[in-house]
Amino acid sequence: MAKVAIVTGGTRGIGEAISVALKEHGMTVAANYCGNDDRARDFTERTGIPAYKWDVADFDGCQEGAAKVAADLGPVDVLVNNAGITRDGVLMKMDYKAWKEVIDTNLGGCFNMAKAVFPGMRDRGWGRIINIGSVNGQAGQYGQVNYAAAKSGIHGFTKALAQEGAKFGVTVNAIAPGYIDTDMVAAVPADVLAKIVARVPVGRLGQAHEIARGVAFLCSEDGSFITGSTLSINGGQHMY
């Protein structure tokens, strides 16, 4: 039986590449999205992967969305918590809304989705949860106290849940991407981005498929002894 995977934020950017990579690895994939219906429709037409709409920051929405995927495709074996947003700004200018939206989406989404699928994985004795962190959660980033806190929280969440899943065959790992060529990074002012890229030892932005391949590996049987770890894929930007 093909494994069933949910990829949150799975119709665009890094999430799109992950959805496609998991499909190529023989999984039945459901790509979650929240905002952009046109992009989701286009994604499904191009890839044949169904898109499901809910907001990962909404606890009840996650339970209902995951239940719908399970009813349509089968019990969920793999969860990739990829959905994330930025609301960049220095602390002096950041309002509470910008703080809360990023924490609720990027970190709260991991809790909400894990609550929906972890119990079933545990009962069936097999599961994979991959949380997408960030180099900026490991190293911090000027103008991102919200995002860095949420992403750093993801790394702690990963290590704690890994301990709870280990004896039930459920591995929980994180990937910490560096600056990847996506819409999110394109929104960084060009002069600021040029300075960041100049400090990346390999001297370029990463590509979404370079993250997706790491996710596919961690989801495979070859990754079964890896849990509670963080795989940094950042061109050497932060060696940790």
Q: Which residues bind ligand CAA (CB under 6 A)?
A: 86, 88-90, 134-136, 141-144, 147, 177, 179, 184-185, 188-189, 192, 196
Active site residue 147: yes
Interstrand relation of 230-233 and 170-177 (parallel, antiparallel or unpaired): parallel
Query: In the bound complex, what is the minimum distance in angstroms from residue 17's beta carbon to ligand CAA?
Result: 15
10 to 60, 73, 132: CA distances (angstroms) = 19, 16, 12
Smallest gap, in angstroms, from Cβ of residue 176 to ligand CAA? Answer: 8
Torsional sign, CA 21, 48, 178, 146: negative
Closest listed residue to residue 230, CA positions, set 129, 146, 158, 128: 158
Strands lying side by side in the sheet with 28-33? 51-53, 28-33, 4-7, 78-81, 127-132, 170-177, 230-233
The residue at minimum Cβ distance from ligand CAA is 143
Options 33, 52, 96, 147, the catalytic residue: 147
Token output for 89: 């700004």
Q: Structure tokens of 72?
A: 């349509």
In the complex, the smallest distance separating the C-beta of residue 54 from ligand CAA, rounded to whole angstroms, is 23
Question: Tokens in use for 228?
Answer: 């509670």
Whichever of 71 and 190 has its CB closer to ligand CAA, that residue is 190
Phi, psi (5° rounding) for residue 162? -60, -40
DSSP per-residue letters across 68-132: HHHHHH-S--EEEE---------TTT--HHHHHHHIIIIIHHHHHHHHHHHHHHHHHT-EEEEEE
Write down the least CB distance from residue 193 to ligand CAA, Å.
Answer: 7
**Which residue, among 8, 20, 22, has the nearest Cα to 85 in the 3D structure?**
8
Compute the least distance from the CB of residue 221 to ligand CAA, in Å: 29
Taking the least distance from each CB to ligand CAA, the nearer of 165 and 177 is: 177
Residues in the chain: 240
Q: Which is nearer to ligand CAA, 148 or 162 (CB)?
A: 148
Residues tagged active-site: 147
